Amino acid sequence: MESLYLKATEKTPEFKFDVETLIMEIKGNCSMEKKNPFFLSITKLLSNIKSASPFKLNLILNFSHLCKNSKRGLLFFLIRLKEIQCISEIKINWVINAENKLVQSIAENLEYMIRIPVNVKMTVESNHKEEILEL
């Protein structure tokens, strides 16, 4: 296994996978057209994850914006992640701005579809500082 980093663009989020800590993170703006290959490319990269023994993966999602077109790509990415045999457990932490009802709705729908518990951490912005609300 190798670590991987993809820099964010105007329409795609940043992607990081650190093999030392086993933390995978997708964060930033996700406002892609239907044919954008971002999620397809990171889903294909999952095929390269091989390990001699099962391991636990911590996935952090933090989208400043997530459009409906991105939902399908994220769904297939999460399904593929769930299918990888060497990952014995996936912990998903999703940081969501309390005012972003669309992302909250997408998170709830995806949790139901993939059947993996999602730990949602709601944030609010006050005086240009981000605070995490415990649920």
CB 4 within 8 A of CB 54: no
pLDDT digits (tens, 9 = 90+) for 101-131: 888 888 888 889 988 888 989 888 655 555 5
Q: What is the mean pLDDT of residues 40-69?
A: 83
Which residue in 1, 24, 12 sits closest to 91, CA to CA?
24
Residue 92: other Cβ atoms inside 10 A: 21
Q: What is the pLDDT of residue 14?
A: 96
- Give 50 or 11, the one with higher predicted confidence: 11
Q: What is the pLDDT of residue 135?
A: 45
Range of the domain at 91: 4-133
Q: What is the mean pLDDT of residues 27-55?
A: 82
Q: What is the mean pLDDT of residues 81-109?
A: 87
Strand order in the sheet with 129-133: 4-6, 14-18, 23-30, 55-66, 87-97, 118-126, 129-133
Alpha carbons 7 and 74: distance in angstroms, whole number: 17
- Give 53 or 129, the one with higher predicted confidence: 53
Number of domains forming the structure of the chain: 1
